Amino acid sequence: MSSATVSTTVSASVSASEWRSLASRIFAGEALGASEYFSMLHSVSWENLAEVARELRQRGKGNVITYSPKVFLPLTNLCRDRCGYCTFRRDPGQPGAHWMEPEEVLDVARKGEKLGCREALLSLGDRPEAEFPEARAWLATHGYARTLDYVAAISELLLAETSLLPHANPGLMSRSDLERLRESNASLGLMLESTSPALFALGGAHDDAIDKRPERRLQTIRQAGELKIPFTTGILVGIGESAADIVDSLLTIRGIHAQYGHIQEVIIQNFVPKPEIPMRDVPPPAPEYFARIVALARIIFGPGFGPGFSSGLGPQMNIQAPPNLSPAHLEMLLDSGLNDWGGISPLTVDFINPEKPWPQVETLRALAASKGLELRERLPVYPEYATQPEFFSPRVWQAMQSR
């Protein structure tokens, strides 16, 4: 599709000629202003946004849609933050509160190996030892002062004892933590979630979540860039942010990636209400609105930057939306320009959303084929980075060559 063939069925707010002009600028690799992206989100039909997003995906990714076969390893669900949408976290003594012992980690990882998994996803609560003496006691008994020390040790264990490549999402990380985890992780992750200050108001989603302050999370993401660590981040849609906040969050991520070239993936994740959370009465984002945001993300990052690439070399960013959180709308999301479904496990549930089972890989494969696309496995680090040794420690680089 060329800009001359862009559909002209738009809302009354944007004329056909205005949309053709915008599309031409997008395809030329021009970064638009925040107000223009905001206007597109509200005033251009999903069909038109999706059409442009799919063309950008085709130019940057061809016909390939990817996913990562993984095991999900929740090292601990103790957490000092209390987010209004979370069912994962526990206080010590609550039913289900736990730590995974090293032997349990290896047992799950080895079972995953036999099923073809290639990624070991390490997820956990943020710095529980800062609030709970029980967490400090458990760590001390195992020879650690901090949870992040335990994450590093488990990452080392997995790299040494299994064929899986670790990908840790341990919350905020200091520069020294990032340096240490880089030694054993193929990639790292930290969701920005949102730049919105409104989420920290009394009763907001992040009212009691000190580690979700955007300036703190952005510091971690920037430092990962300075250290050349392939990094996953993204936004959470429907937790009280405005449409302007969504645009600002995506542009903030793009700006960091423009500087460092290390953000391998942007996740667009939809809020899902659950009966046991404080935000149980908050409606989820409407499917089409969410799909519009996925398409807008592809448009914003489409003329963006891959590792070591300049802005003029086409769309390089990987855009993901978790398929288990939108099981009835997978076709709409695929049509919105995403090129990755994230980690899917044949063994472990999504411990963050345990009521939402992973889709069958064959279902995703058939859906891709119906659109003329091919579903492929990937490592926890994307192919754009997997050929560039400067993004990895020597040990991880060596391990990747045999994966």
CATH of the domain at 125: 3.20.20.70
CA diameter of the chain? 68
Closest CA to 247 of 174, 194, 205, 197: 194
> For position 29, what pLDDT does the model report?
85
Distance CA 356, CA 349 (A): 8
pTM given for the model: 0.94
Q: How many domains does the chain have?
A: 1
pLDDT in tens, 264-317: 999 999 999 999 999 999 999 999 999 999 999 999 998 444 444 444 434 479
Query: 299: domain range?
Result: 59-401
Q: Report if residue 29 sits inside a domain.
A: no
> For position 343, what pLDDT does the model report?
97
Q: Report if residue 8 sits inside a domain.
A: no
Distance CA 48, CA 42 (A): 12
pLDDT in tens, 203-244: 999 999 999 999 999 999 999 999 999 999 999 999 999 999
Q: Report if residue 159 sits inside a domain.
A: yes
**Using an 8 Å Cβ cutoff, are 167 and 186 in contact?**
yes
Q: Report if residue 17 sits inside a domain.
A: no
pLDDT in tens, 343-359: 999 999 999 999 999 99
Q: Report if residue 395 sits inside a domain.
A: yes
Q: How many residues are recorded in the chain? A: 403
> For position 16, what pLDDT does the model report?
84
> For position 306, what pLDDT does the model report?
46
Q: Report if residue 26 sits inside a domain.
A: no
Which whole number is the average pLDDT over 120-146?
98
> For position 30, what pLDDT does the model report?
86
Distance CA 403, CA 395 (A): 13
Q: Report if residue 15 sits inside a domain.
A: no
Q: Report if residue 208 sits inside a domain.
A: yes
pLDDT in tens, 307-348: 444 444 344 799 999 999 999 999 999 999 999 999 999 999
Instruction: State the virtual CA torsion across 315, 39, 2, 46 in degrees, nearest 10.
Output: 90
Mean pLDDT score of the chain, rounded to an integer?
93
> For position 11, what pLDDT does the model report?
44
